[in-house]
Amino acid sequence: MSDRILSVEGLEVSLPVPTGTLNAVQGVSFHVERGETVCIVGESGCGKSLTALAIMDLLPKRARRTARELTLLGEPIIGVSESAMSDLRGNRMAMIFQEPMTSLNPAYTIGNQLEEALLRHRKVSRAQARERAVHLLERVGITAAGQRLRQYPHQLSGGLRQRVMIAMALMTGPDLIIADEPTTALDVTIQAQILHLLAELQREFHMGLVLITHDLGVVARIATRVVVMYAGQVVETGTAAEVFGAPRHPYTRGLLDCIPIPGKTKRGERLGTIPGMVPSLVGHMQGCHFAGRCNYVVDACREAPISLTATPGGAHQVRCIRADELIGERATAREDVA
Amino acid sequence: MSATIAARSAGVPQAGAASSAPPMLEAIDVTRMFMVSQGFMRAKKPLHAVNGVNLSIRQGEVVGLVGESGCGKTTLARMLLGLMPPSSGSLKIDGQPLTGMRRRDVARLVQPVFQDPYSSLNPRKSVGSIIGLPLRVQGGVNSEEEKKRVLEMMELVGLARRLYDNYPSQLSGGQRQRVAIARALINRPRMVICDEPTSALDVSVQSQILNLLQDLRRELGLTYLLISHNLAVVEHMADRVAVMYLGRIVEQTDTDTLFRNPRHPYTEALLKSVLTPEPGLGVPDTQLGAAYPNPLNMPSGCRFHPRCARRFGPCDTIVPRPLNSAEGMVECHLYDDDVKKEVAA
């Protein structure tokens, strides 16, 4: 059991809205082993960020969260007191957000904020905390770390700020890091560097890493396992090789068809598209959530809830009743139905 | 496509004939300098956002402009749109000098599409009013004609007629970007400058907008300058690519050559950092040091030398000159035989 860092079973998150209840996350299950990078990927509104916040217990107050199981290192982290949770947060599990400017406090120095992360959870002196801060800043590739400690967030570039955030997450040596779109606000060159760094640190510190992103390119390169979400549900999950090499859900295949790949897609050729829009998650939905946009929809898709089923002899799971028939079929029509 | 649109676009050279077409837009040795305050009681310092750029875009061509944030892409775009005069150098549009032209006449020829369709549309105006505004600015259309042309344009960009009276807040990101495109095209400009047109959109919407831009280009014979940090998108759309670094274009060549054989070490690093959804390739190590230099304190010699993995003798002292060959233009001592000879001597 010691190698399973995080276990999520049947996670549900709902929010009251004027028109009813928004079922933002509907029965999401996945787990993270030590040393694994699990990527949760999906488009805006699919529930990926709320899944992360639900694990950290950082949901907005009006949100309702339930789960059959939610454990960190075998200990439940749902239904525990707020003080117990804040002992875990930033300690055994840490989070890295998309916009490092808004997640760092502009009124305190980098050093102050880094040290605080450790002083809050460990009985150490400020000098010891400072020492660790310098060590970690150097580790994440920041030169002249001692001087940087006296600087304020606005004095650093976006890439440096994100490195500071990573260093801060590492201060207590957590078992789990959840990174929500950690490179989206950064330049491509810096993005590659930060991902490279995250992958390296994850191996070095032997942590579990949950990476939340909309960028399939990032996922393909860094993930041990992939969780594809659509409209609040997991629609496909498996290893990166399975999901990208042989995608089985029409949504996953459609997404991959949308992306130009230098040397593979032909210049000027039409890219695949997914017609239609994400359905509203207010109220209950019958059948497959993707049915309204799917080229392969049949009556049976709309009748009953579709369950996530494993392919024979593998961990590759897909939520589609026609997945087996569709192997070998082209994912999307190349015609734009805008 | 309706017959009127086809008729209007007739006579415009189609894509493909681009290589021999006359230049639509030309920037000749264009520089833009800003004076930047260093703080109270301290002298202002000049910042060269764009520093001696030469760029020529032929009719019907799609030129991609790539580079990191702060490299001067957007400043260049603003000058090309006539929104900001260059500090020195000259700009020509359709053969005429851009300086001295009236804003309204420039707007007739070049139009922008911006990155964020959430902030580039007035939230208090209806879709119909937003798309029709350029018609009212240019004048000469009555409200009936305006509505007819707006609806025609909405159809062309794939917006349902029923959205005419809707407001931006009622639209999805993709629909908003279609509104922005319709607004840009309503006066039939010859050229569109797209500044990160899909960066704020989801992938499934991005592909729809890219397809739309391709269709419109073919149907209306448009010329595009596509500014993007997404090299996969640029590779898919552009005929030619210009790579910008700290205010200068450091490499410029046709897309195939650039992607097959990048010559400038910076281009190489940029191409390396493209993450395509191909598992097993891992995250590349771009070997670019962390820091993008402070543009107020430019590195000596080649501006790229502090981050360059292939720098040698003269890089930190001699400014590289543009080298033109069949493979395009590159500014790098690695390809300058004269400099290499001198080093050897």
DSSP A68-113: SEEEETTEE-SS--HHHHHHHBTTTEEEE-S-HHHHS-TTS-HHHH
Contact residues on chain B for A261, CB-CB shorter than 8 A: 232, 276-278
Res. A98: pLDDT tops 90: no
pLDDT at A273 over 60: yes
Residues 108-167 of A with CB under 8 A from B: 141-143, 157, 159-160, 163
Provide the pLDDT for residue A192: 87
Whether A299 maps to a domain, the answer reads yes
pLDDT at B243 over 90: yes
What are the structural domain ranges in chain B?
A: 3-37+45-123+180-261, 266-345
Residue B236 has pLDDT above 90, yes or no: yes
pLDDT grade for B15, boundaries at 50, 70 and 90:
very low
What's the total number of domains in chain A? 1
Is the separation of the CB atoms in B174 and B201 below 8 Å? yes
User: Is the pLDDT confidence value at A306 over 80?
Assistant: yes
Q: Is A19 on the interface with B (CB under 8 A)?
A: no
pLDDT at B8: 41
pLDDT at residue B145, as a whole number: 94
**Who among B212, B214, B280 is closest to A241 (CB)?**
B280
**3-state DSSP call for residue B97?**
strand
Rounded to an integer, the average pLDDT of B111-122 is 89
3-state secondary structure of A236: strand
Q: What is the pLDDT of residue B20?
A: 67
Contacts of B255 in chain A (CB under 8 A): 267
Q: How confident is the model at residue B173 (pLDDT cuts 50, 70, 90)?
A: confident
The pLDDT of residue A333: 44
**Around Cβ A54, how many Cβ atoms within 10 Å?**
24
Q: Is the pLDDT of residue A42 over 50?
A: yes
Predicted pLDDT of residue A329: 64
What's the pLDDT tens digit per position in A224-261? 999 999 999 999 999 999 999 999 999 999 999 999 99
CA separation for the pair A167, A174 (Å, rounded):
11
Which residues from chain B sit within 8 angstroms of residue A138, using beta carbons? none
Contact list, A271 vs chain B (CB under 8 Å): 207, 210-211, 236
Q: How confident is the model at residue B14 (pLDDT cuts 50, 70, 90)?
A: very low
* Mean pLDDT value across residues B280-289: 79
Could B273 and A189 be called an inter-chain contact, meaning their C-beta atoms sit closer than 8 Å? yes
Burial of A21 from C-beta contacts in 10 A (0-12 / 13-18 / 19+)? middle
pLDDT classification of B289: cutoffs 50, 70, 90 = low
Give the C-alpha distances (Å, rounded to integers) separating B29 from A311, B33, B52, B53, B95: 61, 13, 4, 5, 16
Nearest CA to B317 out of B330, B333, B328, B336 is that of B333
How far is Cα of residue B19 from the mean position of the Cα atoms in its chain? 19
Q: Which of B215, B232, B290 sits opposite A261 (nearest CB)?
A: B232
What's domain B3-37+45-123+180-261's architecture?
3-Layer(aba) Sandwich (3.40)
Q: What is the pLDDT of residue B290?
A: 55
Instruction: Search chain B and give the residue with CA nearest A221.
Output: B282
Hey, are the CB atoms on B69 and A44 less than 8 Å from each other?
no
Contacts B283 to A, Cβ<8 Å: 192, 195-196, 199, 221-222
CA B199 to chain A, closest CA, distance in angstroms equals 10
Task: Using CB atoms within 10 Å of the CB of residue A128, give its burial: 0 to 12 exposed, 13 to 18 middle, 19+ buried.
Answer: middle
Contacts of A159 in chain B (CB under 8 A): 290, 292
pLDDT at B330: 96
Mean pLDDT of chain A: 90
Longest CA–CA span in chain B (Å) reads 76
Q: What is the pLDDT of residue B44?
A: 85
Between A130 and A284, the more confident residue is: A130
Which pLDDT tens digit goes with each residue over B255-275?
999 999 999 999 999 998 888
Name the one residue in this structure whose structure tokens are 């929010």: A15
Range of the domain at A320: 249-326
Quick check: is A57 in a domain?
no
Closest by CA to B329, choosing from B231, B250, B230, is B250
pTM value is 0.88
Q: Residue B22's pLDDT band (boundaries 50, 70, 90)?
A: confident
Q: Over range B176-190, report the average pLDDT.
A: 94
Output the pLDDT for position B17.
Answer: 43
Q: Among residues B296, B245, B240, which one has the least CA distance to residue B270?
A: B245
3-class DSSP state for residue B320? coil
Spatial CB neighbours of A21, under 8 Å, sequence gap ≥ 6: A14, A15, A282, A283
Q: Which of A97, A66, A74 is nearest to A7 (CA)?
A: A74
Residue labelled with tokens 């395509």: B276
Q: Is the pLDDT of residue B127 over 50?
A: yes
**Whether the predicted pLDDT of A334 surpasses 70:** no
B270/A188 Cβ within 8 A: yes
The answer as to whether A254 is a domain residue is yes
CB pairs < 8 Å spanning A and B: 152
Strands ordered across the beta sheet of A93-96: A93-96, A176-180, A208-213, A37-41, A225-230, A233-239, A317-318, A309-310
Per-residue confidence (pLDDT) for residue B291, from 0 to 100: 64
CA distances from A212 to A38, A252, A261, B199, B206 (A): 8, 16, 22, 18, 19
Highest mean pLDDT among A101-110, B56-65, B94-103, B290-299: B56-65
Does residue A288 lie in a domain region? yes
Alpha-carbon gap, residue A97 to B344, rounded angstroms: 51
pLDDT at B2: 44
Sequence letter at residue A235: V
pLDDT at B38 exceeding the cut of 80: no
pLDDT (0 to 100) of residue A124: 94
The per-residue pLDDT for A293 is 92
Amino acid (one-letter) located at A314: G
Instruction: Please state the rounded mean pLDDT for residues A19-33.
Output: 95
